[in-house]
Amino acid sequence: MVLAGFAFSNTQAQKNYDRAVGLRGGPGTGITYKQFTSDNIALEGIVTMRWNGFIATGLYEIHRDDLNVQGMDWYYGVGAHAGVWNNDDDDEHSGTLIGADAIIGIEYTFKEIPINVSLDWKPAINLIYGNDFWGDSGALSIRYVF
């Protein structure tokens, strides 16, 4: 309900770019692509490498400019992930997983250069292959904006 209240509030972000692609660094490192579908709604795709495998994540994000700093937004959203990994030492801890994700973060887009920097926390829960909660998926992303 809290997310719904934020989503229908009058304050909305004015997008600072249309789309961006870049690198994501954190416990899982990889690439990120974000595209706005309206002034305050973005879709983000993330592919990260972790545990001798990869995880692909899709997110629906709502951006807000409540911080009153030009070029800076905060955002939150939800999504899903799917991935595979291989633990060479233990076949029991290798496999395929599918789960749900949330995200909350802050980002800044430079006016002078086409660069966007974001810092986020992306907790996730695996729904297939265990009910593991992952709370360690924070990351710093640096993107080239279009």
pLDDT top residue among 26 and 93: 26
* Span 37-53, average pLDDT: 92
Other CB atoms within 10 Å distance of the CB of residue 132: 11
11-15, 31-35, 40-44, 118-122 — which is least confidently predicted? 11-15
Torsion of CA 76, 79, 82, 83, to 10 degrees: 0
CB-based contact 122:103 (threshold 8 Å): yes
Q: Structure pTM?
A: 0.85
Chain segment 59-113, per-residue pLDDT in tens: 999 999 888 899 999 999 999 999 998 766 665 667 888 999 999 999 999 999 9
Q: What per-residue confidence (pLDDT) applies to 5?
A: 43
pLDDT reading at 28 higher than 70 = yes
Q: What per-residue confidence (pLDDT) applies to 129?
A: 75
Backbone angles phi, psi at 126, to 5 degrees: -85, 125
- pLDDT confidence tier of residue 19, bands split at 50, 70 and 90: very high
The rounded mean pLDDT for the chain is: 87
Nearest to 31 by CA among 126, 142, 110: 142
Q: What per-residue confidence (pLDDT) applies to 3?
A: 44
And the tokens for 108?
Answer: 């800044």
Question: Percent of the chain beyond pLDDT 90?
Answer: 64
20-24, 49-53, 80-84, 87-91 — which is least confidently predicted? 87-91
Q: What per-residue confidence (pLDDT) applies to 137?
A: 83
